[in-house]
């Protein structure tokens, strides 16, 4: 199994640094991973849903630590690459298609509404 695409959507939030969509083997997408600033640095939070009692439960997650580390490493590498480039991460294999940001160009952070719209658009990558 491979992670074939990673999309990073940075947001303005003191704790949540970005939302992430990943695609496995070009055929299975997982949305709403979050890159979170924790006490010991950045980590990847899996998509979750609030339960009736107020607790949160992951709705998609790795079944072992090795897979969790593999996903987290790839996602954080893409996030750092995007931060260095000054913008959103470019999906694997599309590096040449998107020009690098101009000198002095600031990284554009998205509102939560823009992230939701982008997730909806990107949910249909293979159909477009």
User: If you write DSSP's letter for every residue of 71-92 in order, what string do you get?
Assistant: HHHHHHHHHHHHHHHTSPPPPT
Question: What is the pTM (predicted TM-score) of this model?
Answer: 0.66
Average pLDDT over residues 103-128: 55
Which tokens go with 84?
């260095």
Which pLDDT tens digit goes with each residue over 22-31? 999 999 999 9
Say which CATH number the domain at 30 has. Answer: 3.30.1120.40
Q: Report whether 24 contacts 3 (CB < 8 A).
A: yes
Which pLDDT tens digit goes with each residue over 57-75? 999 999 999 999 999 999 9
What's the total number of domains in the chain?
Answer: 1
* H/E element, 120: helix 112-122
> Which of the pair, 128 or 45, is modelled with greater confidence?
45
* H/E element, 119: helix 112-122
> Which of the pair, 92 or 109, is modelled with greater confidence?
109
- Please give the residue range of the domain that contains residue 81: 3-127
Average pLDDT over residues 38-48: 92
pLDDT of residue 119: 59
């Amino acid at each position: 199994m491979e992670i074939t695409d990673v999309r990073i959507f940075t947001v303005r939030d003191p704790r949540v640094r970005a939302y992430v969509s990943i695609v496995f083997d070009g055929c299975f997408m997982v949305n709403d991973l979050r890159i979170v600033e924790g006490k010991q640095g950045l980590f990847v939070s899996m998509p979750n849903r609030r339960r009736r009692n107020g607790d949160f439960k992951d709705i998609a997650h790795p079944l072992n630590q090795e897979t969790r580390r593999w996903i987290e490493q790839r996602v954080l590498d893409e996030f750092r690459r995007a931060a260095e480039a000054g913008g959103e991460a470019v999906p694997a294999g599309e590096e040449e298609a998107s020009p690098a940001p101009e000198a002095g160009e600031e990284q554009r952070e998205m509102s939560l509404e823009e992230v939701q719209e982008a997730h909806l658009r990107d949910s249909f990558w293979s159909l477009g």
